[in-house]
């Protein structure tokens, strides 16, 4: 065993020129390999796929729609000159249809499916499943994906997936010839071919790390953040990576460092392997074992970070769950020594890593074993209109003029008056009409007259031809009346199980720290004037629970109105429970919104006529013609 690494080194690097690349080799013959921690079962090639996982044709299904990482994958495709998008479909429980995204300059409609099986059925050639569910929800879709015949690789991004769940996923994957990458990973990338989610960082970084075309290095790391750093280093001192994988920072990674090194060993285009380990756990020893067993024939450069842990007098937990200083064998020092003893080229410190990588690469080039990848110029990705406008680079004509209201910013304003001020100053319906139709605040006697007109003309009995009902009944999910029996977590989780988001919860801008003033005003009114606000309180307890998941899952103005409307019906003592159910089911609340919105719609119509706007024709370039859907 002892000589194995040395033979490996001489065979691949030193050649006739002796041990020029790794002064570290001296250590190899002098010290026997350390015993492996008992748990190490590495070196046996547990991963079913023994070569490339990805290619330029690989397509993925993306679980839990997150626009930015999906768009980043498609932008990477464009830089690589792929002809088919790498995201075949999106799985978003409870939803279906499509999302518009850019593929280069063109917009494409990416199909959205409500379940994992339906997505797999629709895209039988997509064999990678990228799971962007939160740690609370990552297990079920990952297992469901592993069970699909078409899926080979499952990538789990979330940090904090329960170890018990991960172990079950790993056991299932191993027994069924599937590959798991993660959890707690940024993913991986095959240069010039396929990118998982956010791997490689910004497009600027992708270009500066030359990830748009394949190089000669196989890279595997525990840390996603450090992968980006290393892609940069590798682009500087080698011809770049062929493939890079971040296995994730958890104690139990779905696939291990050695799984990927053994795979890299079988990929002819990969000529040298770079490994970045971490203190804690025993994963690196499976690589040591594989190397000692002579299973790795390509030069391996390795560094295990966390040597500073020894400077602390007590146990240290670093950022990743698995990066914890434990016994001596789990220390970065012991792992670095063992890797060196097994034949890996190991620097004295991370600072020395780059120079050793360069030396190794240059030696392989000198020996003719690496023909540096030809440089190519990636195409320039068209800039997004929004960012170009923001940067003052382009100007775009608008298609519509509006002078009565403005919905940009934190809250809408009517003729320049923020709607929270309208409530605070007790404006009436006539005042709102005055602002939206006449663009000014008329005196109270005028606005009272407008209100009288509305009151007097509100109905003219059932026999008038124009008096047909326009009750719009768009019921959203389970009605709140019957939810009160459930505690908030049970209600929210019950909705989640049905693939439904709680209506009235969530805001694009507002958050726990930046509350919606309109909601506060409505709630203040309810508290001061209603004899009971139990529905409002229930909504607040739902909000308290959803806020534990994300800070923007606040009760929004629709949710506040809906629950306070129920409180009004319930607490005024003038409606029976049956009548309240009927009012909710028929859609009175929607009627309230339709009535309110009609004032604005009429105002916009007057505004266009006042501005003498010509016949409108929507511009062609603003339409995605997706006739195949
Ligand atoms: N009503 C009720 N609940 C709602 C509503 C609503 N209207 N809207 C959303 N929710 C819930 C969802 O159901 C979900 O619940 P769950 O967590 O119980 O499943 C929750 O809000 C969160 O929303 P999601 O969109 O599902 O998930 P999230 O926004 O948390 O995104 C992700 C998940 C992408 C994994 C994110 O948490 C993340 O990026 N985590 C970090 C991952 C990471 O760091 N990985 C390692 C990288 S590599 C390295 O080394 C750096």
For residue 4, pLDDT beyond 70: no
Q: Which residues contact 580 (CB under 8 A, 6 or more apart)?
A: 481, 566, 569, 570
Options 12, 320, 604, 618, the catalytic residue: 320
Assigned domain for 408 exists: no
pLDDT at 400 over 80: yes
- The verdict on 340 and 422 lying in the same domain is no
| Direct distance between the N- and C-terminal alpha carbons of the chain, in angstroms, rounded to an integer | 61
Protein residue whose Cα sits closest to atom 5 of ligand 1 = 501
Residue 320 annotated to the active site: yes
Tokens 């499916």, located at residue: 113
Choose the final residue of a domain: 332, 367, 402: 367
Atom of ligand 1 nearest to the CA of 157: 45
Question: Looking at the predicted structure, is the pLDDT value of residue 447 above 80?
Answer: yes
CA of 357 to the centre of ligand 1 (A): 38
Distance CA 33, CA 88 (A): 47
Please list the residues that pair with 275 across neighbouring strands. 220, 302
Give the domain range for residue 97. 60-367
CA distance 198 to 212: 14
Domain termination residue (choose one: 367, 393, 425): 367
C-alpha to C-alpha distance for 154 and 143, rounded to whole angstroms: 9
Q: 361 and 463: one domain?
A: no
157 shares its domain with 260: yes
| Dist CA 356 CA 358 (whole Å) | 5
CA 230/CA 246 separation, integer angstroms = 11
The confidence score (pLDDT) of residue 21 equals: 31
pLDDT, tens only, 296-351: 999 999 999 988 777 777 777 777 877 776 778 888 999 999 999 999 999 999 99
Q: Give the nearest ligand 1 atom to 506 CA.
A: 7
Give the CATH number for residue 361.
3.40.50.261
The bridge status of strand 106-113 relative to strand 128-131 is: unpaired
Residue of 545, 550, 557, 558 to mutate, ligand 1, most atoms within 8 A of C-beta:
550
Q: Provide the number of structural domains found in the chain.
A: 2
Residues 362 and 421 reside in one and the same domain: no
* Average predicted confidence (pLDDT) for the chain: 86
Residue 79 clears pLDDT 90, i.e. is over it: yes
Retrieve residue 362's tokens.
């240059």
Residue 613 has what pLDDT?
86
One domain, residues 557 and 427: yes
Ligand 1 center–CA 216 separation, angstroms: 36
258 and 123 part of one domain:
yes
Q: Which of 325, 351, 338, 323 is nearest to 291 (CA)?
A: 338
pLDDT score at 238: 98
In a domain, 583, yes or no: yes
Domain boundary among 343, 367, 391: 367
Q: Does any domain span residue 595? A: yes
Q: What would the two tokens of residue 514 be?
A: 């930046």
Question: Is the pLDDT higher at 189 or at 491?
Answer: 189
Residue 16 lies in a domain: no
Closest Cα to atom 33, ligand 1: which residue? 134
- Show the ligand 1 pocket: residues with CB < 6 angstroms: 64, 66, 132-134, 136-137, 157-159, 184-186, 223-225, 246, 249, 492, 496, 501-502, 505-506, 546, 549-550, 553
Q: Is residue 327 domain-shared with residue 444, that is, in the same domain?
A: no
**Residues 334 and 423 both lie in one domain:** no
List the single range of 246-255, 492-501, 613-622 with lowest mean pLDDT.
613-622
Q: Say yes or no: 464 and 549 in one domain.
A: yes
Q: Say if residue 460's pLDDT is above 80.
A: no
- Give the span between the Cα atoms of 534 and 522, in whole angstroms: 14
If pLDDT is split at 50, 70 and 90, which confidence band does 411 have?
A: confident
The predicted structure's pLDDT at residue 589: 80
Q: What Rg, from alpha-carbon coordinates, does the chain have?
A: 31
Residue 222 lies in a domain: yes
Nearest to 310 by CA among 279, 289, 339: 279
Inside any domain, residue 406:
no
Reported as a single tens digit per residue, the pLDDT across 106-163 is 999 999 999 999 999 999 999 999 999 999 999 999 999 999 999 999 999 999 999 9
80 and 215 share one domain: yes
* CA 73 / ligand 1 centre spacing (Å): 19
Domain contains 376: no
pTM, 2 dp: 0.83
Which residue minimizes the CA distance to atom 34 of ligand 1?
Answer: 132
Same domain, 356 and 433: no
The more confident residue out of 216 and 595 is 216
Are 363 and 472 contained in the same domain? no
Strand order in the sheet with 87-91: 97-103, 106-113, 87-91, 60-63, 128-131, 153-156, 179-181
């Amino acid at each position: 065993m002892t000589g194995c690494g040395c033979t490996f080194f001489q065979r691949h690097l030193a050649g006739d020129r002796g041990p020029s690349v790794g002064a570290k080799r001296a250590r190899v013959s002098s010290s026997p390999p350390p015993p492996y921690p008992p748990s190490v079962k590495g070196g046996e090639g547990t991963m079913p796929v023994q070569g490339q996982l990805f290619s330029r044709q690989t397509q993925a299904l993306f679980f839990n729609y997150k626009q930015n990482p999906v768009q980043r994958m498609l932008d990477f495709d464009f830089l690589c000159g792929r002809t088919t998008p790498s995201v075949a479909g999106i799985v978003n429980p409870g939803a279906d249809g499509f999302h518009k995204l850019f593929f280069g300059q063109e917009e494409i409609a990416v199909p959205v499916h409500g379940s994992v099986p339906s997505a797999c059925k629709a895209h039988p050639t997509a064999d990678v499943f990228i799971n962007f569910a939160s740690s609370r929800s990552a297990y079920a879709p990952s297992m469901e994906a592993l069970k699909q015949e078409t899926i080979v690789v499952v990538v789990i991004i979330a940090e904090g997936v329960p170890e018990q769940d991960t172990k079950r996923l790993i056991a299932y994957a191993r027994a069924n010839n599937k590959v798991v990458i993660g959890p707690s990973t940024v993913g991986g990338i095959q240069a010039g071919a396929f990118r998982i989610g956010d791997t490689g960082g910004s497009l600027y970084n992708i270009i500066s790390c030359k990830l748009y075309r394949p190089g000669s290095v196989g890279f595997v790391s525990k840390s996603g953040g450090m992968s980006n750093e290393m892609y940069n280093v590798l682009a500087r001192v080698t011809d770049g990576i062929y493939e890079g994988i971040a296995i994730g920072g958890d104690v139990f990674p779905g696939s291990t460092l050695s799984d990927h090194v053994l795979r890299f060993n079988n990929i002819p285009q990969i000529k040298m392997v770079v490994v970045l380990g971490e203190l804690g756990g025993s994963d690196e020893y499976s690589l040591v074992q594989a190397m000692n067993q002579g299973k790795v024939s390509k030069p391996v450069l390795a560094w295990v970070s966390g040597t500073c842990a020894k400077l602390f007098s007590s146990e240290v937990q670093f950022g990743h769950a698995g990066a914890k200083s434990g016994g001596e064998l789990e220390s970065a020092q012991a792992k670095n020594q063992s890797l060196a003893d097994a034949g890996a080229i190991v620097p004295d410190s991370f600072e020395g890593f780059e120079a050793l990588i360069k030396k190794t690469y240059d030696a392989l080039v000198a020996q003719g074993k690496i023909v540096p990848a030809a440089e190519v110029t990636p195409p320039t990705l068209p800039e997004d209109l929004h960012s170009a406008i923001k940067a003052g680079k382009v100007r775009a004509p608008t298609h519509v003029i509006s002078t009565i209201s403005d919905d940009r910013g934190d809250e809408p304003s009517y003729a320049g008056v923020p709607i929270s001020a309208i409530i605070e100053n007790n404006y009436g319906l006539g005042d709102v009409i005055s602002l939206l139709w006449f663009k000014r605040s008329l005196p109270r006697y005028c606005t009272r007259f407008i209100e009288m007109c509305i009151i007097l003309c509100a109905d003219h009995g059932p026999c008038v031809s124009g008096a047909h009902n326009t009750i719009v009944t768009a019921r959203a999910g389970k009605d709140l009346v019957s939810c009160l029996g459930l505690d908030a977590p049970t209600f929210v989780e019950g909705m989640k199980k049905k693939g439904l988001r709680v209506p009235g919860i969530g805001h694009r801008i507002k958050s726990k720290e930046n509350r919606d003033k309109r909601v506060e005003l409505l709630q203040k009114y309810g508290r001061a004037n209603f004899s009971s606000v139990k529905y409002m309180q229930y909504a607040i307890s739902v909000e308290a629970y959803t806020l534990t998941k994300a800070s923007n899952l606040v009760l929004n103005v629709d949710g506040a109105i809906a629950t306070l409307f129920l409180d009004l019906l319930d607490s005024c003592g003038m409606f029976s429970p049956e009548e309240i159910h009927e009012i909710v089911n028929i859609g009175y609340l929607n009627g309230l919104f339709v009535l309110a919105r009609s004032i604005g719609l009429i105002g916009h119509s007057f505004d266009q006529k006042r501005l003498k706007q010509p016949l409108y024709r929507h511009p062609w370039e603003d339409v995605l013609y997706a006739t195949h859907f």
